[in-house]
């Protein structure tokens, strides 16, 4: 199987869980429709896959680890989805399209989109605790992972990154260092937390957790650079959202600050750094993470 | 001390914790200002006080219980505050005033208000886990309380209640039973969870937890009825928000459906029910909860 096929297969397992995770929670019908409209709109499910993969890598003797970690993994997709729904709102990036479909507030309405985002974010923490309460993972591990994820997704992480991004909009003179820091918060923190939480939930020691975190940081930066590059070189249909929207909004991006070729090279360098943190591990799961890392940057070639 | 003074004194302890709980979290300056603008805008701090009080009532032998439970208690105020910030948004209730000051999106801007709410909600879960990670409460208790709170605040609870409330707006023919159910989600669930989580964090048994929950349900309904009544009989200055706004928005309320006097009587009946759940307990903490219950309904007389 190619890495793309492997990724798609794992995404299917996540999908199967996501499909029912909001059922029987007493959610009003229209609100649930709105939440599932965005949650089940496809996507690579990269963040949940990273949680599952790092947990498997570091606890290979537990063949049930994927099942036990799944609710927690799914929670990252809920958080990622809520952030997209809120980012698309008229008061924020004002995007009408997301993954080739009308964005949530276009399909429903603004109030419903705000509440769908709030609901997804809150339900995410219910899913995290379910990893212990329902699936039996030790409570102290799950609690530590919740703390890591709340910090990564919170006002000093993803939410803060979006706030800084809004401040940057319209400025094409943002220094590269500030841009990197903003992205480290806005997209990097959640990808990093995915890897770190996978390791924590597997019961890994501090050194392994550190490797997971550093791996996540590096692929997080690479992922963002690639995203910026794709916004320039792709067409709208491939992207599923308006291509060239960064430039249209006057956003500073890696390509706008350092050019396309240098951006692509920088992404490749970050992937090389990520691979170093995998070098002490062996087996099929290590191979998967290795190929996944290469795949992130290969998408721009 | 009168109950009002006792409540104010406990609110001060909560206030002291809230004042610094968002510090040193790497939050961008303007976002933190916006979050603290709403979080520190005063209020009775009823929900945190209920957490602390039920924990003290059920674990009187632990003199440090208030300190240990405080981060969790504070998280309920973060969640309550975020819900007010989002409810005030133009796409939702479109309120310009909150507690006598410009609402968050008026003081800052819409995007910042959305993100401040998202940030408060996410940081809340960081605070909850800190009750174990920093304060040493057993992880399994904290995790169970997180699950209860996420469920209460989530799409089948508070967020769902707001969604249903939006659907009801403009309809003055909502049946009383549906109105009660909506309020049970929108305001009741969080008040109920406050009491229940206090009991869980104290390590209480199932019967005590059940009493805390049922007490919370009853005062939650009474609290909402009183809120509706106050909207009719108070002036804008006392209320800190536009009086008569329910009627102006064409909302169904207890007074609009059953009249003022019957509403007041119903609130008193719910408080009587709440007091029954306190009858098996003794001491100063029981006395405090007893008086607090009476105070909720006495505000309308």
Residue listed under structure tokens 């701090």? B45
Whether pLDDT at B172 is above 80: no
With bands split at pLDDT 50, 70 and 90, how would you rate the model's confidence at A2? very high
| Residue pair B252/B172 in contact by the 8 Å Cβ criterion | yes
Residue B238 has a pLDDT of: 66
Chain A CB contacts of B86 below 8 Å? 114-115, 118
Residue A234 has a pLDDT of: 81
pLDDT tens by residue, B144-159? 999 999 999 999 999 9
Whether pLDDT at A49 is above 80: yes
Distance CA B58, CA B50 (A): 12
**Residue from the list A25, A32, A164 with its beta carbon closest to the beta carbon of B28:** A164
* Inter-chain contacts counted by CB atoms under 8 A, chains A and B: 180
Cβ neighbours of residue B276 closer than 8 Å, sequence gap 6 or more: none
Whether pLDDT at B12 is above 70: yes
Higher pLDDT, A82 or B233: A82
**Terminal CA-to-CA distance of chain A, rounded, Å?**
20
Helix axes A206-233, A284-298, angle to 10 degrees: 30
**Residue from the list B35, B110, B129 with its beta carbon closest to the beta carbon of A147:** B129
- H or E element that contains A300: none
Instruction: Specify the CATH number for the domain of residue B37.
Output: 1.10.600.10
* Chain A stretch 123-182, residues whose beta carbon is closer than 8 A to a beta carbon of chain B: 123, 125-126, 128-130, 132-133, 138-140, 142-144, 146-147, 150-151, 153-157, 159-160, 162-164, 166-167
Distance CA A198, CA A166 (A): 31
- H or E element that contains B170: none
- Domain total of chain A: 1
Range of the domain at A96: 3-298
Distance CA B209, CA B202 (A): 10
Chain A CB within 8 Å of residue B97 CB = no
**Residue from the list B110, B125, B143 with its beta carbon closest to the beta carbon of A133:** B143
Chain A CB contacts of B125 below 8 Å? 125, 146, 150
| Residue pair A97/A242 in contact by the 8 Å Cβ criterion | yes
Overall average pLDDT of the A267-296 stretch:
96
Q: What's the CA angle centered on A71, arms A70 and A73, to 5 degrees?
A: 60
Chain B CB contacts of A125 below 8 Å? 125, 146, 150
* Chain A stretch 100-119, residues whose beta carbon is closer than 8 A to a beta carbon of chain B: 109-112, 114-115, 117-119
With CB atoms and an 8 Å threshold, state whether A143 touches B125.
Answer: no
What ipTM, to 2 d.p.?
Answer: 0.95
pLDDT tens by residue, B186-211? 999 999 999 999 999 999 999 999 99
Distances (CA, A) of B70 to A300, B50, B136, B195, B197: 49, 11, 12, 14, 12
Question: How much of chain B, in percent, has pLDDT values that exceed 90?
Answer: 82
Task: State chain A's mean pLDDT as an integer.
Answer: 93
Chain B CB contacts of A170 below 8 Å? none
Overall average pLDDT of the A142-147 stretch:
98
**Residue from the list B114, B123, B154 with its beta carbon closest to the beta carbon of A154:** B123
Q: Under DSSP, is residue B276 helix (H, G, I), strand (E, B) or coil? A: helix
Whether pLDDT at A242 is above 70: no
Overall average pLDDT of the A12-35 stretch:
97
Chain B: give the shortest CA distance to residue A6, in Å.
32
Question: How much of chain B, in percent, has pLDDT values that exceed 70?
Answer: 97
With bands split at pLDDT 50, 70 and 90, how would you rate the model's confidence at A109? very high
Q: What's the CA angle centered on B135, arms B130 and B138, to 5 degrees?
A: 85
With CB atoms and an 8 Å threshold, state whether A31 touches B159.
Answer: yes
With CB atoms and an 8 Å threshold, state whether B159 touches A112.
Answer: no
Whether pLDDT at B236 is above 80: no
Residue B165 has a pLDDT of: 93
Whether pLDDT at B282 is above 90: yes
* Chain A stretch 209-248, residues whose beta carbon is closer than 8 A to a beta carbon of chain B: none
pLDDT tens by residue, B57-72? 999 788 899 999 999 9
Whether pLDDT at A240 is above 80: no
With bands split at pLDDT 50, 70 and 90, how would you rate the model's confidence at A250? confident
Whether pLDDT at B222 is above 70: yes
Residue B204 has a pLDDT of: 97
Which pairing describes strands B101-102 and B97-98: parallel, antiparallel, or unpaired?
antiparallel
Overall average pLDDT of the B215-241 stretch:
85
Residue A239 has a pLDDT of: 64
pLDDT tens by residue, B72-85? 999 999 999 999 99
């Amino acid at each position: 199987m190619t890495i793309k096929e492997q990724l798609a297969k794992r995404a299917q397992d996540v999908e199967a869980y996501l499909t029912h995770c909001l059922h029987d929670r007493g959610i009003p019908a229209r609100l649930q429709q709105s939440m599932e409209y965005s949650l089940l709109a496809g996507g690579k499910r990269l963040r949940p896959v990273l949680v599952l993969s790092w947990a498997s890598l570091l606890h290979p003797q537990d063949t049930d680890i994927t099942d036990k970690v799944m609710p927690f993994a799914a929670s990252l997709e809920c958080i990622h989805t809520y952030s997209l729904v809120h980012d698309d709102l008229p008061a924020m990036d004002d995007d009408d399209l997301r993954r080739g479909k009308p964005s949530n507030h276009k399909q429903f309405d603004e109030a419903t989109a705000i509440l769908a985002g709030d609901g997804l974010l809150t339900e995410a923490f219910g899913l995290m605790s379910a990893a212990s309460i329902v699936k039996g993972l030790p409570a102290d591990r799950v609690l530590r992972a919740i703390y890591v994820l709340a910090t990564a997704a919170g006002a000093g992480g993803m939410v803060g990154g979006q706030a800084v991004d809004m401040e940057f909009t319209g400025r094409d003179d943002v220094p590269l260092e500030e841009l990197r820091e903003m992205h480290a918060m806005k997209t990097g923190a959640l990808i990093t937390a995915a890897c770190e939480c996978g390791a924590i939930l597997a019961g890994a020691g501090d050194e392994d957790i550190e490797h997971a975190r550093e791996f996540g940081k590096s692929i997080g930066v690479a992922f963002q650079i690639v995203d910026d590059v794709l916004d320039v070189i792709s067409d709208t249909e491939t992207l599923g959202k308006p291509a060239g929207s960064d430039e249209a909004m006057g956003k500073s991006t890696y390509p706008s600050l350092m050019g396309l070729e240098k951006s692509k090279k920088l992404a490749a360098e970050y992937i090389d750094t990520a691979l170093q943190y995998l070098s002490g591990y062996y087996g099929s799961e290590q191979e998967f993470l290795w190929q996944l890392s290469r795949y992130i940057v290969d998408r721009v070639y």
